[in-house]
Structure 1
Amino acid sequence: MTEKTGWFAKLRTGLSRSSEKLGGGLTGLFQTARLDEPMLEGIEEALISADLGVGVAARVTDRLRTERFGKSIDEAGVRAAVAAEITTVLSPVAKPLAVTAFPRPQVILVVGVNGSGKTTTIAKLAHRFMEQDYTVMLAAGDTFRAAATEQLKIWGERTGVPVVAGPAGGDSAGLAFNAFEQARAKGTDVLIIDTAGRLQNKSGLMDELAKIRRVLAKLSATAPHDTVLVLDATTGQNALNQIEVFRDVAHVTGLVMTKLDGTARGGVLVAAAEKFGLPIHAIGVGEGMEDLRSFDAGEFAKALAG
């Protein structure tokens, strides 16, 4: 089994609950052999209930109406149409994180609500970059939570990546400044900065993130080069609200979605792409270091549509 086929098998297993949710909505719709309006309405409802979003559901049913109305169709035919439309929606936004900054380091600011898997995702991203022979440094910018700093230090030790940290409650912008200077002095390729994620204090979070961005811009006019929002797939449609808030607060440039293996709501990633059009850099389907991979639209569509 090649690495690619092994990953697809894991992705398909990880998305099985989401795929089963879609299949459950389609079950019982094919009482008649030919596609008619009642069947189209049922298909649209099934797609919406599978978190794919109203826009994508409408596009799939419009495609089926144009291509198959009055013709025989079965569940496999509908799933194929769903996969094709999902691929159309996702292909333009499937963009891996690329290290292009010159001079180095490439600065990646990572944002997201507490509990979204942000710190673990940072470690996995570091691991992926190291596999590509880049040097990496981490900065524990979530100074509000001592546990976040400790967790990042543990991941740093496991992956062999240096971690710049400060005292609990310290100035996160000052920490980002120090980390950037250290990374530049060492010639590090990638600097990944963790940030606080307490949305309940939105104005404070906004001020903190704005300050970090200002400090980094003084050191490099193009920094941060990426601002990545980590989303927890188990939150379903609430992920769309988080994108809206963080896009406005933090100037998000791309998304990573985690915990797709723990939910039936994986379709929300399609709804997010349809609504916001932000690049999707990577997805996670497990706890292991190898369980975060660059996002592939076709693979995801096939696995989700079953």
Structure 2
Amino acid sequence: MSQDEKPGWFGRLFGRKGTPAAEETPVPAPDSPASPSEGEPDFATGADDVKHVPLPPSEPSPEDADRNAVPDEIEGADLQPIEGETERPPAGTAGDAPARGAEPADTTTQAFEPEPAEPAPAALQPGTAAPDPDIQPVDTAAALATDAAKDFDLAEPAETRGWWGRLTAGMKRTSTSLSDRVTGLFTKRKLDATTLEDLEDALIQADFGVETATRVSEAVGKGRYEKGISPDEVRAILAAEVERALDPVAEPLRIEADRKPFVILMVGVNGAGKTTTIGKLASKLKAEGRSVMLAAGDTFRAAAVEQLKVWGERTGTPVVTRAQGADAAGLAFDALQDAKRQGTDVLLIDTAGRLQNKAGLMAELEKIVRVMRKLDAEAPHATLLVLDATVGQNALSQVELFSQAAPVSGLVMTKLDGTARGGILIALAAKFGLPVHFIGVGEGVEDLEPFTARDFARAIAGLEKA
């Protein structure tokens, strides 16, 4: 480096020595001891004109040398903890108490982790993958046992309620919605045309249908114009009109003993609850002392077959099955042959869930009926359409189109506890007049019961049992 050349940053940083320029003069030593940064570059400003002036070397004091000295016997040694000693963690941590069964020679962090009280399960041992709790098989009976257990609980409930208690609890969403509207309409208001129109609108919104809503409004207004009427009076009139509309269709399912087997074909859309309803009906029929056979005709879904097998195991009922994708009509034919040979009282046949607007699947339903009639000209003896109450007005089109593909003889309404529009059952009765055999208000086997018009009418109106 030339004498006129200034040292670079690297040189200034590490005190690079060079021949001082001729014009540079030594800086006189200050009277007071120099600070560590004195004479060093200004790092804050990065000024390049600061000259590096080396400080005279200073000898450490004997006291400092003694304090900083390293003993000769350990100088340069690879320091290791003394065997048998462990470092204690700070007080108040989990390491205050020694781990039960811990090895004293192990000084890693594992020494401070408590040993489990019991050995870990085999699935959690090293080298074994733990099962994923979120992934469940859908094609085994074990995978469906939980779902079926919800529908068929063999244990006694903590609180035993009769059918009326379960019905009113299940219909509470519909009854509460209606009661709120009725109370708002007839509190501190005289009965006039506007009030009756509002009542009719409220009933239509609850899926009572136009015909029933008009009839109820006319009954409420008869002889009461410009007079006060209490909400309780309106609910009583509502219950009476609903009972009158439903009484003709409230028919129990009659099993004819001279027809063996009595064949019941279950139809409906996906998710309506056909398979669950079959299991519940099998339980009720077995409780009556009848012999029952189940046919897993929903060959499109392996899960439906397995679910029906679970119901068969729980109720002690034989189940006729075939491989997934097998011909459903052929399965129904074989099941009917088996039931005849064994003298079974009732044969319940499940079918694949199908939308009412799918012509191909509807044609297959027609084929099932046609094939069974080769063995029994009157089979099926009952065809029950399972309807989900939560679909509302769509149930009307389901009844119409399913009746074209199969001889629908009666209805089963499920999931009335999941909707505030339970009046759809009244609209169905008014339009089709088909018998309503059962209604469901829950998942338990006891939550499917024969339909009675009076109980349903008073439950939907929010009244006590008569």
- Taking structure 2 as the reference length, the TM-score comes to 0.63
- What is the root-mean-square deviation in Å for CA atoms of aligned residues? 1.6
The answer to whether residue 435 in structure 2 is matched with residue 268 in structure 1 is no
Aligned to 2:396: 240
The answer to whether residue 259 in structure 2 is matched with residue 103 in structure 1 is yes
The answer to whether residue 215 in structure 2 is matched with residue 56 in structure 1 is no
Kindly provide the CA deviation profile for residues 125-175 of structure 1, in whole angstroms up to 9, marking residues without a partner as x.
111111111111110011111111111111111111111010111011110
Aligned residue runs from structure 1 range 52-201, under 5 A: 52-100=208-256, 102-199=258-355
What is the alpha-carbon distance in structure 1 between the residues aligned to residue 223 and residue 375 of structure 2?
55
What is the alpha-carbon distance in structure 2 between the residues aligned to residue 252 and residue 214 of structure 1?
14
What is the alpha-carbon distance in structure 2 between the residues aligned to residue 241 and residue 67 of structure 1?
37
Kept in 2: contact 1:25–1:47 (CA 8 A)? no
Higher fraction of strand: 1
Aligned to 1:230, which of 366, 386, 394? 386
Letter matched to residue 279 of structure 2: A
What is the alpha-carbon distance in structure 2 between the residues aligned to residue 208 and residue 151 of structure 1?
22
Kept in 1: contact 2:260–2:344 (CA 8 A)? yes
Aligned to 1:40: 196
Letter matched to residue 107 of structure 1: V
| Residue range with higher mean Cα deviation, 7-16 or 37-46 | 37-46
Kept in 2: contact 1:94–1:279 (CA 8 A)? yes
Once the two structures are TM-superposed, the CA of residue 67 in structure 1 deviates from its matched residue by: 4.4
What is the alpha-carbon distance in structure 2 between the residues aligned to residue 37 and residue 14 of structure 1?
33
Once the two structures are TM-superposed, the CA of residue 5 in structure 1 deviates from its matched residue by: 7.6
Higher fraction of helix: 1
Aligned to 2:405, which of 244, 249, 255? 249
| Residue range with higher mean Cα deviation, 11-20 or 23-32 | 23-32
Sequence identity (%): 60
SS at match of 2:184: coil
Letter matched to residue 334 of structure 2: N
What is the alpha-carbon distance in structure 2 between the residues aligned to residue 67 and residue 274 of structure 1?
26
Aligned residue runs from structure 1 range 211-222, under 5 A: 211-222=367-378
What is the alpha-carbon distance in structure 1 between the residues aligned to residue 272 and residue 283 of structure 2?
19
Once the two structures are TM-superposed, the CA of residue 22 in structure 1 deviates from its matched residue by: 1.1
Kindly provide the CA deviation profile for residues 238-273 of structure 1, in whole angstroms up to 9, marking residues without a partner as x.
222211221222221110011111221211111111
Letter matched to residue 409 of structure 2: T
Higher Rg: 2
| Residue range with higher mean Cα deviation, 112-121 or 23-32 | 23-32
Aligned to 1:297, which of 453, 456, 460? 453
Extract unaligned runs of 5+ from structure 2. Answer: 1-159
The answer to whether residue 180 in structure 2 is matched with residue 28 in structure 1 is no
Once the two structures are TM-superposed, the CA of residue 32 in structure 1 deviates from its matched residue by: 4.3
What is the alpha-carbon distance in structure 2 between the residues aligned to residue 276 and residue 69 of structure 1?
33
Deviating 4+ runs (over 6 angstroms): none
| Residue range with higher mean Cα deviation, 192-201 or 167-176 | 192-201
Kindly provide the CA deviation profile for residues 208-233 of structure 1, in whole angstroms up to 9, marking residues without a partner as x.
11111111111112110111000111
What is the alpha-carbon distance in structure 2 between the residues aligned to residue 9 and residue 270 of structure 1?
21
- Taking structure 1 as the reference length, the TM-score comes to 0.95
Kept in 1: contact 2:187–2:231 (CA 8 A)? no
Kindly provide the CA deviation profile for residues 181-215 of structure 1, in whole angstroms up to 9, marking residues without a partner as x.
11111111100000112217722112211111111
Change (3 A) 1:200 1:247: closer
